[in-house]
């Protein structure tokens, strides 16, 4: 990959020190101020006449129109704001999500000139064909379908000529405006200058096609081997900061219902796949596509999801991933004091925040999750519940979470159009449950122990949900899961759970009649015999179902087969667990005997 002949600004300081002719500066400044001022007048009139709420939808649509009129920088500003429900009301967020990143195409001659400047020779010496009609034209560039001299069909993205100068000028003026507003408008507490800097960083990263190519290659390395995911190849030799050459992907938008049905595919299944894949990117790969709108996710003829446009990506460190999962576990268990502390650890609230007043509000919002079935909890519902607190406490959502919100809100919004009953929890919980158990994270295993135990009592209903979730995961591996369960119980994090589990098993067995108790003791001896026959193990399996029904009720019927159950007893930790139960049973029998 090559670097551009037109360098991007190295940092925000370069923009702040930007110099333009005064006439050009004032002309653009007046255009921007006129648009904002006229919009502010309408808002002020709505406020004076008591129609602020009633006209919100109308004003939101008007804002979208003004941003489009102001051009590429402000279209991108609207897209950034569409991910910031902590800054603007929900109605504005909804309207801004529909903001189309489209402008009239620029001429082919201009595009050919950019290609020649970047690749060092006329376009027809590189591309055997280049369709004269662009297939897409956006604010920053446009895309052509072409063919390399070697025969590969490609998509060629060319940056809009002169766009860098336009963006630098607009951001320079926005920085000036935001700094003035920050100092002089007392009722605005949000760091507007930081938002402007975030906009600048976001735009310039998206404009660097070399970085986009590297993002695509990293995405392919992490996920390209998944059977239902397709990542197009990047042709690095024909990619620079202003020209990107990528493999052409035949497919239809994930929202093209009729075309998808014609391929014999179910749109709802594909949306569910996209949601689960987003979770996999967030929790496992740690590198995720933050802009999976319908134009960026195609369905191939083979039924795979093909991802395009890798300009907006983000990474998650393992510590943050674990904190997000722990937040979810605390929400499910109703541990609201811990949930409030999680908001500090996740940096939604600054360190030292008094969260005591927050606990009753969280309890009121989410306290009935268990009674109303947590299967009804979705990403959108959860965020809507938290939205009022965001405004009340003036939370500053870190950029990483903004991108996570953008990713999952986009997917869930698409899903709800296909299936109004779509629930994020239903599709996400199995994957999260398996990840918590099998990832061997001490932090997550400590949280898992607290999830399963409450005041030294096992939460069997929650355990049942967890095991059901694990068994429903697409990549469920029974052998690995059993290994991790036993490993967890004998880890320092799972010791207390194992002790309570052994005690509950023994207590239940002790309450059985003496005749049944003696028979169970006979079974335990058979279990510990290395050459126990399969017939005898089958008998044991059915007897255990009768006498320890409480424990089997929490295990899904498809979770452990009889053959796997028999293999379980040959594992070292399983034998240790069985020995612990036998030893404690023996001590209790002995104590009962000497008391007779």
Coil, helix or strand at residue 290: coil
Q: Is there a contact between 404 and 313 (Cβ–Cβ < 8 Å)?
A: no
Cα separation, 381 vs 335, in Å, equals 19
Contacts of 124 (CB under 8 A, 6+ apart): 130
Residue 527 has a CB neighbour count (10 Å cut-off) of 19
Catalytic choice (86, 197, 208, 291): 291
335 is catalytic: no
**Helix H or strand E encompassing 363:** helix 358-366
Q: Which DSSP letter does residue 286 get?
A: S
Q: Are strands 229-230 and 305-307 parallel, antiparallel or unpaired?
A: parallel
| Helix and strand element counts for the chain (H, E) | 26, 11
Cα separation, 1 vs 235, in Å, equals 8
Cα separation, 88 vs 434, in Å, equals 36
Nearest alpha-carbon partner for 477 in 552, 564, 569? 564
Cα separation, 395 vs 343, in Å, equals 10
Helical ranges in 71-107 per DSSP H: 72-81, 90-97
Coil, helix or strand at residue 245: strand
Residue 351 has a CB neighbour count (10 Å cut-off) of 7
Q: Is there a contact between 278 and 411 (Cβ–Cβ < 8 Å)?
A: yes
Residue 317: C-alpha distances to residues 203, 285, 288, 325, 346 (Å): 23, 10, 12, 13, 12
Q: Are strands 229-230 and 313-315 parallel, antiparallel or unpaired?
A: unpaired
In the block, residue with structure tokens 């052509």: 144
**Helix H or strand E encompassing 289:** strand 287-289
Nearest alpha-carbon partner for 382 in 318, 428, 322, 349? 428
Q: Give backbone dihedrals phi and psi of 128, rounded to 5 degrees, phi first.
A: -65, -30
Residue 340: C-alpha distances to residues 37, 395, 425, 573 (Å): 40, 13, 21, 37
Q: Is there a contact between 523 and 546 (Cβ–Cβ < 8 Å)?
A: no
Residue 356 has a CB neighbour count (10 Å cut-off) of 9
Contacts of 251 (CB under 8 A, 6+ apart): 298, 299, 300, 301, 306
Q: What share of the chain is helix, strand, coil (3-state, %, to 5)?
A: 60, 10, 30
- Which residues on neighbouring strands pair with residue 252, listed in sequence order? 299
Coil, helix or strand at residue 552: helix
In the block, residue with structure tokens 């469920």: 476
Q: Which residues are catalytic?
A: 291
């Amino acid at each position: 990959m090559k670097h551009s002949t037109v360098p991007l600004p190295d940092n925000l300081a370069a923009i702040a020190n930007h110099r333009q002719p005064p006439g050009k500066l004032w002309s653009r400044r007046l255009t921007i101020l006129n648009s904002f001022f006229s919009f502010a007048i309408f808002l002020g009139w709505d406020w004076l006449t008591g129609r602020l709420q009633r006209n919100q939808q109308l004003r939101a649509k008007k804002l979208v129109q003004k941003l489009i009129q102001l051009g590429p920088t402000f279209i991108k500003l609207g897209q950034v704001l569409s991910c910031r429900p902590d800054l603007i009301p929900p109605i504005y967020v909804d309207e801004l999500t529909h903001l189309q990143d489209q402008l009239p195409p620029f001429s082919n001659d201009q595009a050919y000139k950019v290609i020649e400047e970047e690749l060092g020779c006329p376009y027809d010496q590189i591309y055997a064909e280049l369709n004269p009609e662009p297939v897409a034209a956006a604010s920053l560039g446009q895309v052509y379908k072409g063919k390399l001299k070697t025969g590969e069909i490609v998509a060629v993205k060319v940056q809009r000529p002169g766009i860098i100068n336009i963006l630098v000028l607009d951001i320079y003026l926005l920085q000036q405006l935001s700094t003035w507003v920050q100092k002089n408008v007392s009722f605005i507490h949000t760091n507007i200058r930081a938002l402007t800097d975030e906009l600048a960083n976001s735009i310039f990263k998206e404009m660097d096609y070399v970085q986009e190519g590297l993002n695509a290659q990293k995405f392919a390395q992490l996920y390209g081997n998944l059977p239902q995911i397709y990542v197009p190849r990047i042709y690095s030799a024909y990619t620079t900061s202003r020209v990107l050459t990528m493999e052409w992907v035949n497919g239809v938008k994930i929202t093209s219902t009729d075309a998808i049905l014609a391929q014999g595919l179910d749109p709802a299944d594909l949306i569910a796949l996209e949601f689960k894949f987003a979770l996999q990117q967030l929790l496992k790969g740690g590198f995720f596509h933050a802009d999976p709108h319908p134009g960026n996710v195609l369905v191939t003829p083979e039924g795979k999801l093909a991802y395009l446009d890798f300009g907006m990506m983000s990474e998650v460190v393992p510590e943050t991933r674990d904190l997000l999962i722990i937040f979810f576990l605390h929400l499910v268990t109703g541990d609201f004091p811990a949930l409030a502390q999680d908001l500090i650890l996740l940096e939604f609230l600054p360190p030292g925040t008094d969260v005591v007043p927050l606990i009753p509000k969280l309890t009121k919002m989410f306290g009935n999750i268990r009674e109303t079935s947590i299967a009804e909890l979705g990403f959108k519902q959860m965020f809507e519940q938290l939205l009022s607190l965001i405004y009340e406490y003036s939370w500053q959502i870190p950029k990483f979470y903004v991108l996570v919100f953008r990713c999952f809100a986009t997917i869930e919004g698409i899903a709800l159009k296909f299936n109004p009953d779509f629930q994020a929890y239903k599709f996400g919980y199995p994957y999260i449950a398996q990840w918590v158990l099998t990832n061997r994270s001490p932090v997550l295993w400590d949280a898992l122990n607290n999830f399963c135990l409450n005041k030294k009592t096992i939460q069997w209903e929650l355990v049942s949900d967890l095991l059901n979730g694990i068994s429903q995961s697409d990549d469920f591996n029974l052998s690995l899961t059993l290994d991790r369960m036993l490993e967890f119980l004998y880890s320092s994090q799972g010791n207390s759970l194992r002790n309570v589990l052994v005690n509950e098993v023994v207590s239940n067995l002790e309450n059985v009649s003496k005749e049944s108790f003696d028979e169970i003791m006979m079974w335990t001896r058979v279990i510990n015999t290395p050459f126990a026959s399969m017939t005898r193990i089958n008998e044991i399996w059915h007897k255990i179902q009768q006498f320890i029904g409480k424990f089997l009720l929490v295990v899904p019927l498809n979770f452990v087969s009889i053959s796997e159950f028999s293999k379980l007893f040959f594992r070292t930790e399983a034998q240790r667990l069985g020995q612990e139960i036998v030893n404690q049973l023996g001590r209790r029998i002995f104590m009962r005997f000497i008391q007779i």
